[in-house]
Structure 1
Amino acid sequence: MTSHWVERDVQVRALPVESDVLDRIIVGDSAPIRQLKRMIAAVAVSDAAVLTRGQTGVGKELVAEAVHRLSGRTGPLIAVNCAAIPADLLESELFGHEKGAFTGADRARVGRIEQANGGTLFLDEIGDMPPALQAKLLRVLESRRIQRLGGGSEQMVDFRLVCATHRDLTQAVEQGSFRADLFFRISVFPLTVPPLSERTADIPLILARMISDRLVENPALDAPHFDPAAIRALSAHAWPGNVRELKNVLMRAFVMFPGRMITSRQVRDNLLGMQMPDMDSDGADCMPEPPTPTASGLPDPSRFHEALTRLTDLDLRGYIRDIEVALIEAALDKRQGNVAQAAEALRLRRTTLIEKMKKFGIRRGLPV
């Protein structure tokens, strides 16, 4: 029974696309993202159903796109958000209908499942699918046949299924709101997209891609720039909205700081804190930037005294955090990523340094 199922449903085909397509779709080179890309590359060339899990805003739809592009299927990628369509319309959206099937059905309509024939069907937020539709979807997955609403005949369909959810479907199965048999059908190969807070090292690459895409859409825009301290401030943020929130922050940067270099204070106060910047400021009243990992020495305290005479206020905690991050990164660079030696150089306990590194999103030297 098992071998027959594998032979029918998990056929493997050669990879027909260029090898860098995955890097273009999913941006990042952190350890969690490299692991995710390896998993995608492994499963894409099969027909196994994929269940993508992750928080809202992490980019689960990009996993579906990557799986489809790497699969070699010639049909389209058809996406349906099960949470965005009212329950009474979702059945017609998925299965289609014949003319006269219900009031207002003045013509026949091809459903999304039928449209995905030869390609990939992506069901986003499948955890929100009503129980009655779960049963109908299960039958389609088992029989590979579909019948439109109001229709009298069935037709064969061939599609790759990728689902996504931010819900805990295991818990939903236990509570009875999601069918156990459907859960096991759609979760042959589960993938988890890490939250942005676990891959802050990817923020510069993600920002660069977002800026590039934005300029392609509108070449007349003047792109903002982020200095190293600003990147560290972004990395220290919790990112509850994940990559979607980062995109919003970048859009604010285009509005507030077109063509300007953004500092850590502007990240915290303006982009994250939503205070309007002083557009007349030329930056002369800013604190000197914390030392970078390549700096040859610490700044003289008099520089801070001079800067403070021109400031009306100061985010002391944020500024000291930037200094800590810079010195930790410098110590790790000098000790080739050896955490124990870096801790000794900073006169910290190794466990204390590790706690600070996790707090600031510094992954170098830590186990993957």
Structure 2
Amino acid sequence: MLQTDELIVGNSAASKDLKKLIDVVAPSSTTVLILGETGVGKELVARSIHNSSNRTGELISVNCAAIPSELLESELFGHEKGAFTGADKNRKGRFEMADGGTLFLDEIGDMPLSLQSKLLRALEDRTIQRVGGGKDINVDFRLVCATHQNIPSKVDNGSFRADLYYRINVFPIQVPTLAERAVDIPQIVERILSQMGKYDDIIPPEISESGYSELGRYTWPGNVRELRNVIERAVVLFAGKSISGTQVKENLLRLKVPDREEEMNAIWDAADDLSGISLGGIGDPEDAPLPHPSHYRDWFSYFDTIDLRRHLRDIEVVLIEASLEKSDGMVSQAAAALKLRRTTLIEKMKKLMIEKPVAQSSALENID
């Protein structure tokens, strides 16, 4: 069985913290609640917990959101022959299949209220009853749940039982987003390509340093699942070729078939010498007002939500890159322009995977 380091790829601080939590809780029989956005790899965390445990049974997975509510009870608890139309024989449910092992309930936030009380009883008594049966069946299982939803808010609005929430929220594990462990992207990409090579006759592309920089700068709303899609796209478009940062941005993060003759690059090169272009009535850049914090006061008059963490991160990246460009790549001057300590700026550049631009003068580069 694959162990934690093989399932959870990466050596970032966030990944190391996640692995430590898994290693601590895995040997116990404690119920675990895995929290995190869609696509972060919650199922991999559940599998890692099971593989690192001492349980001899199997890991049995159920996606509560993927099974119609009228069928979910039978899927979980099993049924007796004749319990309903089509039940022509006795059938074990997932609880019984997980006897001696681990039951993983993915997207437990979507479990119907009618089943939540039965799940609570199974957790407390370690017994279940099949649909249409009256006999208690003892089951020895370890429960691991996962959700991307805000369960406390569902408790508040009455769509999730408070007693069940407190019963499953024994050992919560928050899985970091891909943006929070962007430094792990090269390792994750390598793993994705190796997995693809096992099943397909592919010629993997080679992603350049600037390409990885663009991948690290992206916010990844779909997390690792979205990254896998991007890498599959890269295999189709750039099989056996090197991928630049521009190609990552233009052809992978935004799906556009690459222009093999690089006509667009020629157009931009020709436009570099143009100056004095009108800003469409906005005026000179110096005349355009900078955004003020108070401008955000009316945000919720127009929008329902704002991803504050990602928004502030994007602003930080843009300002750091602009200051580095203005200072010709001299970190000390860029830090002064941002009113930061030089060491602080260097740490931010590492965290956000921002490359220092090549200085126009090697002498100036040596000074910095």
CA distance in 1, matches of 2:26, 2:190: 27
What corresponds to 2:126 in structure 1?
Answer: 144
Task: Specify the code of the residue in structure 1 equivalent to 2:269.
Answer: L
**Is 1:210–1:247's contact at 8 Å kept on the other side of the alignment?**
yes
CA distance in 1, matches of 2:37, 2:96: 29
CA distance in 1, matches of 2:332, 2:144: 45
Return the match for 1:259 from 235, 240, 251. Answer: 240
Report matched runs for 1:141-220 at 5 Å.
Answer: 141-218=123-200, 220=201
What corresponds to 1:4 in structure 2?
Answer: none
Question: How many Å apart are 1:270 and its aligned residue?
Answer: 0.5
Secondary structure, aligned partner of 1:162: strand
CA distance in 2, matches of 1:128, 1:177: 9
Q: Deviations over 1:112-142 (max 9, x none)?
A: 0110000000000000000110000000000
**Is 2:335–2:345's contact at 8 Å kept on the other side of the alignment?**
no
What corresponds to 2:340 in structure 1?
Answer: 351
What corresponds to 1:117 in structure 2?
Answer: 99
Give the direction of change, closer, same or farther, for the CA distance of 1:154–1:232 in structure 2 (3 Å limit).
Answer: same
Give the direction of change, closer, same or farther, for the CA distance of 1:264–1:357 in structure 2 (3 Å limit).
Answer: farther
Report matched runs for 1:261-340 at 5 Å.
Answer: 261-279=242-260, 281=261, 308-309=269-270, 324=321
What corresponds to 1:225 in structure 2?
Answer: 206
**Is 2:213–2:353's contact at 8 Å kept on the other side of the alignment?**
no
CA distance in 1, matches of 2:111, 2:346: 42
Q: Deviations over 1:202-258 (max 9, x none)?
A: 10010000001111122x210011000000011111111000000000010011000
Matched, 1:362 2:352: yes
**Is 1:98–1:151's contact at 8 Å kept on the other side of the alignment?**
yes
**Is 1:146–1:157's contact at 8 Å kept on the other side of the alignment?**
yes
**Is 1:236–1:359's contact at 8 Å kept on the other side of the alignment?**
no
- Normalised to the residue count of structure 1, the TM-score between the two structures is 0.76
**Is 2:154–2:160's contact at 8 Å kept on the other side of the alignment?**
yes
CA distance in 1, matches of 2:351, 2:10: 15
Question: How many Å apart are 1:175 and its aligned residue?
Answer: 1.3
What corresponds to 2:25 in structure 1?
Answer: 43
What corresponds to 2:48 in structure 1?
Answer: 66
Return the match for 1:240 from 212, 217, 221. Answer: 221
Structure 1 unaligned runs (5+)?
1-16, 288-305, 314-319, 333-340
What corresponds to 2:278 in structure 1?
Answer: none
What corresponds to 1:299 in structure 2?
Answer: none
Structure 2 unaligned runs (5+)?
275-316, 355-368
Question: How many Å apart are 1:275 and its aligned residue?
Answer: 1.1
**Is 2:335–2:341's contact at 8 Å kept on the other side of the alignment?**
no
Q: Deviations over 1:268-326 (max 9, x none)?
A: 110011111123x3x79869xxxxxxxxxxxxxxxxxx992499x9xxxxxx97x949x
Give the direction of change, closer, same or farther, for the CA distance of 1:176–1:351 in structure 2 (3 Å limit).
Answer: farther
Task: Specify the code of the residue in structure 2 equivalent to 1:274.
Answer: L
Count residues in correspondence: 309
What corresponds to 1:336 in structure 2?
Answer: none
What corresponds to 2:308 in structure 1?
Answer: none
Task: Specify the code of the residue in structure 1 equivalent to 2:180.
Answer: E
**Is 1:223–1:254's contact at 8 Å kept on the other side of the alignment?**
yes
For the aligned residues, what is the CA RMSD? 3.3
CA distance in 1, matches of 2:29, 2:134: 29
CA distance in 2, matches of 1:285, 1:151: 69
**Is 2:216–2:353's contact at 8 Å kept on the other side of the alignment?**
no
CA distance in 1, matches of 2:35, 2:113: 20
**Is 1:343–1:350's contact at 8 Å kept on the other side of the alignment?**
no
Identity of aligned residues (%): 50
Secondary structure, aligned partner of 1:206: helix
- Normalised to the residue count of structure 2, the TM-score between the two structures is 0.76
CA distance in 2, matches of 1:92, 1:122: 16
CA distance in 2, matches of 1:358, 1:177: 42
Task: Specify the code of the residue in structure 1 equivalent to 2:241.
Answer: R
Q: Deviations over 1:125-172 (max 9, x none)?
A: 000000110000000000001111111211110011000000011111
**Is 1:119–1:158's contact at 8 Å kept on the other side of the alignment?**
yes
